[in-house]
Structure 1
Amino acid sequence: MRIQKVLKQEYRQFGVKILPDNRINFNLWAPDEQEVRLCLKQQDNSFLELPMERDKEGWFSICTELAQVGSEYMFKLANGLMVPDPVSYLQAGDVHGTSVVFDHSTYDWGNDVNWKGRPWEETVLYEIHTGTFAPEGTFGGIKNRLDYLASIGVTAIELMPVADIPGKWNWGYDGVLLFAPDTAYGSPDELKDLIKAAHEKGLMVFLDVVYNHFGPDGNYLYCYAKSNFFECKHSTPWGCAINFENKTVREFYIQNALFWLETYHFDGLRFDAVHEIKDDSPVNILEELAQRVREAIPDRHTHLVLENDDNVPKFLERKADNSAYYDAQWNDDFHHCIHILLTGEKGGYYRDYTPEYSENNPTWFLARALAEGYAYQGELSSYRN
């Protein structure tokens, strides 16, 4: 995987690593813990516990020949709580259970290694919820309907978040294991099958990722990394913010973005509600992430798209060479105006587009959004201020 080539030397790779001699290297960043054990599930459903070594930065690691591809495992904290791998590539069941050692290198991509993608100006995007798009509710169900999507002029599909969530039914925005496709939709290889088949038909595949919070059920990072992974000087609709001023936390998300783009051959990422990503660092995490992606994947079209309700233009600004960190942004202003005109709803943030709370009506705001991109261009928002 190219991800291993672009990582800065001062950072270590998250997740299980299969070594050339077939030993398995496990690691867990648990800075709030002093003792962690690797628990390998045995055939009788008991667990073999192996002590892990801690370094000064809170990384626990162990390299063992007692595990292999397909082995199920968990990590045991000092208080006895057993937790899944936060960088699990596959869960045996739901998010509270065992993680599975999975080898991504064995998948046969065939001619897809030569896929170069398509330029942004050719993008006709169709957003898909994997669980509802087809009766099967799976990656395979989408794969079986790619011809239909191509026939109506679609050139790219965007999967709503597929990161593992508790239970079976969810929009996807409560993900807690960000490297593991939810098993309700299919296996990692079945997701790769979908992407490879889409590329064969000339279709790009985007993934919606959520980097502004974790879901409330199954987020075990609070149990062993709370003091470093989260910070409460900023608040979000979900509570304390992700601590993007911590270099290890930043690397976790950068590696996640590279993982989906490189390991799964996704053509682009859509970043959910980045206005709720709080970062006071000299270089914003969104800038660093985009730069790392551009450096890592210079040889094919890779598209990065924002949802940014704050209408901040800097991430879209073109550089001297006409490149930009991000290709596009969802136009929430357009959506809000259309919603008001179709439904009459005026509560919450919709009120900003009504004459009762602004100097103009939703039709005026809609025309401005269509003509200029942003409807709000520095004007005071009654809802947000």
Structure 2
Amino acid sequence: MTIRTVHREQEMKFGTQIIPNGVRFRLWAPLVPFVELEIDGWSLPMRQDVRGWYEAEVPGASPGSHYVFCLPGGKRVPDPASRYQPDDVDGPSEVVDPLAFEWTDLGWRGRPWEECVFYEVHIGTFTPEGTFRAAAGKLELLAELGVTALQIMPLADFAGRWNWGYDGVSLFAPDSSYGRPEDLKALVNRAHELGMMVMLDVVYNHFGPKGNYLPLYAPILNDKDTPWGPGLNVDGENATVVRDLVLANARFWINEYRFDGLRFDALHAIEDSGPKHLIQDLAEQTRAASDGRHIHLIAENSHNQASWLRRRDDGTPWLYTAQWNDDLHHGLHALVTGEDQWYYQPYASRIDLVAKALAEGFAFQGEYLARENRMHGEPSAFLPPTAFVSFIQNHDHTGNRPAGERIGQLVPRQAARMLATLYLLSPQIPMLFMGEEWNASTPFCFFTDIKELGDIIRRGRAEVLKDFPEASKAKHIDPMSEDAFLSCKLNWDERCSPVSAEMLELYQDLLRLRASVLTPRLVGMAGNSGSSEILGPHAFHVQWTLGDGSTLNLAANLGASPQNGDWRAVIPLRCEGTFTDDTLGPYTAMFWLT
């Protein structure tokens, strides 16, 4: 059988473009009077226009050529729109031909949102090799599990050999430690062949602390600090081109790499006082750039601004498809582990917040939070449950712990099984964290390789962890060490052990049930479809009106003691735990349809 192939390129005004007789190079550098292009060891001046753009067409240049831009004073800097940095963020950029890769996913249209089951991965620790090609080799196992969407942590080239990815500085260049651009395209292509979407986590609220040379020649940053450094200049003088760079990057991942959507990191940290907020522009332009495929846009927004998630009259998203539901995670975690510090302090002993987050999306919808010293959240009950992505662990809430402990190391086994059942069968869209399905024993802790900032990073981590009673156990974990990184690599061999296989079977069963019974009923779910009732200090009943008019019920006991009630009329769709006519057993989640 002949496999038809196609070649794809996102044309843009930044970076390089292959032309018939060579390569065109462009750089926006309004703060300097001249720029020279140095390519493969020889240099030539770049032509300047009145808007701060520099351009040069180089006959004979070709894919594989290495180049840098030379600024006044002799500073040599890489291309901020480089497609590949073979020698890390400080080295030269490489010309890449985006049309060289042969895609075989013709006809791929993505998948409807209601079918999403996310699986979050960090490419460097997902496999022993830590590469795009190795990750592609695991996709069949994920498809067999029931995963329909790979959620990849940020890939923009970062300084050093390992990093979570949120310190990226070369927005268009997949980090070279994971492989070349064609390797990433091969990963996406293979996922599509298996019927799996691929989503990318992108960071537009700050640049990493090392390797960002843009401020030397362009007004890229502003004086509005984020927790991770200066914010981007999206509303000041010359902000138009800065915004264009960000918007071009979002379109680039959707079109040139065929990602099926984006997860936008910490949108609440983007300050914009202009006539149209960058958050709105990002959603509108990314959706408009697609070729008719299903494109899904996911927000991380600690301010819980439900307005960005509003729906059209036909139920489709106006801007963002969904938001990560931190409220649900925090409430579940606090109730089952008993932890009451850090994120979890406002949720301690608050079973009502868990029930509310399941029924209405946000637990806090305009209340004052003393921990944050501000009003928190907006009303969200008007949104359908599918406007929220639920999880019981992710990179943040595992990695920002003293020893990177996963939920399976923090709660009894029956509690972990109950939590999995609760969130995988709720109408919210579920997201697993890599290795969760077999209760991986490997940790996922914070790690980085920005050596020049080692002491600052160590002090910062100590400050983050100081409120954990068990923090002293983790003093030996140096976030700058290779051991911290290597310890987080999944051990795929343990997946076959009897204990792990038992958990894996649970996840497979739950996801099969979700796909066959729940997913078809999610289509058409409206807002105000959920309601909740508190049954006891650790127990609640939630019900949702599904898209077909049926009612999904959940009775859950998050505690170690039985909960009295009347369950005589219940015919379970699934019960993880135990129940009798008048008792809901410890650590039990029971679903049924009426």
Q: Distance in 1 between matches of 2:341 and 2:28?
A: 43
Match of 1:217 among 205, 210, 214: 210
Segments of 5+ residues of structure 1 without an aligned counterpart are: 5-11, 42-46, 355-360
* Inter-CA distance 182–239: structure 2 relative to 1 (3 Å threshold): closer
More moved, 371-380 vs 61-70: 61-70
Aligned residue-pair number: 362
What is the distance in 1 between the residues matched to 2:77 and 2:328? 43
SS at match of 1:326: coil
**Mapping of 1:140-179 within 5 angstroms?**
140-179=133-172
> Which residue of structure 2 lines up, in the alignment, with residue 95 of structure 1?
89
Deviation at 1:235, TM superposition (A): 2.3
What secondary structure is seen at the aligned counterpart in 2 of 1:270?
Answer: strand
> What displacement does 1:66 show?
4.4
SS in 1 for 2:243: helix
For 1:68 and 1:40, the matched residues in 2 are separated by: 10
User: Residue 110 of structure 2 is aligned with which of 117, 126, 131?
Assistant: 117
Superposition map of 1:200-349 within 5 A? 200-225=193-218, 228-232=219-223, 234-245=224-235, 246-323=239-316, 324-349=318-343
State the SS of the aligned residue for 2:63: coil
Q: Distance in 1 between matches of 2:357 and 2:76?
A: 50
1:346 CA displacement: 3.4
Identify the match of residue 86 of structure 1 among 77, 80, 91. Answer: 80
8 Å Cα contact 1:304-1:328 kept in structure 2? yes
Q: Could you tell me which of 350, 375, 395 is aligned with 1:362?
A: 350
TM-score w.r.t. structure 1 length? 0.90
Using the aligned pairs only, state the percent identity: 49
- Picking from 361, 364, 369, the partner of 1:381 is 369
Equivalence for 1:358: none
Please give the alpha-carbon distance, in whole angstroms, between the structure 2 residues aligned to 1:314 and 1:101. Answer: 41
> What does the per-residue CA deviation read over 1:287-309, in whole Å, with 9 as the maximum and x for residues that have no partner?
11211122221511011000001
1:44 equivalent in structure 2: none
Distance in 2 between residues matched to 1:174 and 1:78, nearest whole Å = 27
Residues 199, 259 of structure 2: 8 Å contact kept: yes
Q: Which digits, 9 at most, give the CA deviation of each residue in 1:154-194, with x for residues without a partner?
A: 11111111111111111111001010011111111111111
Between the aligned partners of 2:195 and 2:309, the Cα distance in structure 1 is 26
- Kept in 1: contact 2:226–2:269 (CA 8 A): yes
Aligned match of 1:72: 66
Mapped contact 2:9–2:98 kept (Cα < 8 A): no
Aligned to 2:28: 29
1:16 aligns with 2:23: no
1:109-136 superposed Cα distances (whole Å, 9 cap, x missing partner)? 12x1310000000000000010111111
Per-residue CA shift, 1:257-295, capped at 9, x if unaligned? 110110011111000111101111111112112111222
Say if 1:74 and 1:99, in contact at 8 Å, map to a contact too: yes
Q: Which amino acid aligns with 1:230?
A: L
Paired with 2:28 and 2:338, the residues of 1 have a C-alpha distance of 49
**Matching of residue 62 in structure 1 with residue 61 in structure 2:** no
8 Å CA contact 2:209–2:229 kept in 1: the answer is no
Partner SS, residue 198 of structure 2: strand
1:299-334 deviations in Å (ceiling 9; x for gaps): 110110000010001111012343321111001112
**What is the CA-CA distance between 1:237 and the residue it aligns to?**
0.8
Give the secondary structure class of the aligned counterpart of 1:380.
strand
Alpha-carbon separation, structure 2, partners of 1:362 and 1:133: 35
SS at structure 2 position matched to 1:319: coil
The one-letter code sitting in structure 2 at the alignment partner of 1:239 is: G
- Other structure's SS at 1:257 match: helix
Paired residues of 1:273 and 1:307 also in contact (CA < 8 A)? yes
Determine the C-alpha separation between the residues in 2 that align with 1:163 and 1:342: 36
Structure 2, gaps ≥5 residues long = 1-7, 374-594
- Distance in structure 1 (CA, Å) of the matches to 2:121 and 2:144: 16
Larger Rg: 2
Q: How many Å separate the matches in 2 of 1:350 and 1:73?
A: 49
Aligned to 2:39, what secondary structure does the other structure show?
strand
Shift of 1:362: 3.4
- Equivalents in 2 of 1:184, 1:23: separation in Å? 28
Is 1:372 the counterpart of 2:372? The answer is no
Q: CA RMSD in A?
A: 1.5
| One-letter amino acid of the counterpart of residue 238, structure 1 | W
Secondary structure at the residue paired with 2:167?
A: coil
* One-letter amino acid of the counterpart of residue 220, structure 2: F
Would the alpha carbon gap of residues 154 and 315 (structure 1) be closer, same or farther in structure 2, given more than 3 Å must change?
same
SS of match in other structure, 1:13 = coil
Question: SS in structure 2 opposite 1:291?
Answer: helix
Match of 1:357 in 2: none
Q: Could you tell which deviates more after superposition, 283-292 or 81-90?
A: 283-292
Deviation at 1:217, TM superposition (A): 0.8
Asked if the contact 1:72/1:92 (under 8 Å) is kept, the reply is: no
**Quick one: distance in 2 between partners of 1:116 and 1:49?**
44
Match of 1:129 in 2: 122
What are the superposed Cα offsets for residues 31-74 of structure 1, whole Å, 9 maximum, x if unpaired? Answer: 21111110112xxxxx3121112222211111111421110000
Instruction: Give the aligned residue type for 1:25.
Output: R
Query: CA distance change for structure 1 residues 31 and 249 in 2, over 3 Å: closer, same or farther?
Result: same
C-alpha change, 1:36 and 1:344, in structure 2 (3 Å) is farther
Question: Does the 8 Å contact 2:263/2:298 carry over to 1?
Answer: yes
